[in-house]
Structure 1
Amino acid sequence: MNPAELQQLLYKEIPITKALQVQVDNLTSNSIQLSAPFEANKNIHNTAFAGSIYTTATLAGWSLVTHLVQQHQRQGSVVLASATIRYSKPIEGDIVASCQVSDPDTIERFLKRFDSRGRGRLSLEIDVIEAGESKATMQADFAVIKKES
């Protein structure tokens, strides 16, 4: 899947992504970066809306896990199982969320569990940055449940 295909999938499967104007900026085999423009996601304080920050971070994780599942030729439904976010500073520009799975063993353990149990779980740390500085960090667990054929 390339960034344009993933963006179309987001718009189709999660319609709010279109209203938030979420863009897939970068996608590799194990990492992703999404953004949402400030003008579509600002609040009354002229900073990025916390709900948009949370949603963009969640979408970055969901998108990466969805990409990993498809890349490894599995069929499954990806859902957010749990998440906590820490907002450290206001964002006064575009919301940029990124995450990666840097340890190949993590992916292998996830796939083995998914194959043997029909479900798997990945824990991700998603950073929300502005001008190279982390402004929020989400710790999230995504569950994948095998789709019945």
Structure 2
Amino acid sequence: MSELKNLLEKTLHVEIPLTREIGISVISASTQLVELAAPLSPNINHKCTAFGGSLYAVAVLAGWSMVFARLHAAGIHAHIVIQDAQIEYLLPVVETISARCELAEDDEFARCLKLFERKGRGRIALAVEIVTQQGVAVKFSGNYVIHN
């Protein structure tokens, strides 16, 4: 297991206790891709599908984790918060919740860091998908803020 993957999972479980309760695990973590998973059983609803709130939480946390990975790589310690978000529930999830956040562009995060250095706050928009065997089940987009 990579150092970043271990650090991210430990940080999630210590700083955001909900992640332990819903069974979040870090599948992969880099500055380009973060993948989180959560088992269906603690996140199930009355329809035997994943609860919408759990899907939202896993998506928010995948984006949060990407910001964490980028800050860690840059050697920066800052607070990370979600400012606002939109979510589309496209398909029911009847298996392990698998969320992916990709950030191939370095320019967007560089702008975020410049704002952070100048004003003590930076913002970045991130997209997350929850994918099942049937296809993309959830599309999430959120604005994350970093601050001192």
Which TM-score band (shorter chain)? over 0.9
Aligned equivalent of 1:105: 107
Distance 2:40 2:133 in 1: 13
Q: Where does residue 82 of structure 1 map in the other structure? A: 84
Task: Quote the residue 2:10 is aligned against.
Answer: 8
Aligned to 1:28: 30
Out of 4, 15, 18, the residue aligned to residue 20 of structure 2 is 18
Q: Secondary structure at the match of 1:35?
A: strand
TM-score, length basis structure 2: 0.95
Deviating 4+ runs (over 4 angstroms): none
The answer to which of 63-72 and 47-56 deviates more is 63-72
Q: Tell me the amino acid that sits aligned with residue 69 of structure 1.
A: L
Aligned equivalents of 2:9, 2:71: Cα separation in 1: 16
Counterpart contact for 2:38–2:98, Cα < 8 Å: yes
Per-residue displacement from partner, 1:19-70 (whole Å, max 9, x unpaired)? 1000000111222000100112111111011110000000101111012112
| TM-score, normalising length: structure 1 | 0.94
Is it true that 1:96 corresponds to 2:93 in the alignment? no
2 CA distance for matches of 1:132 and 1:69? 34
- State the AA in 2 paired with 1:5: L
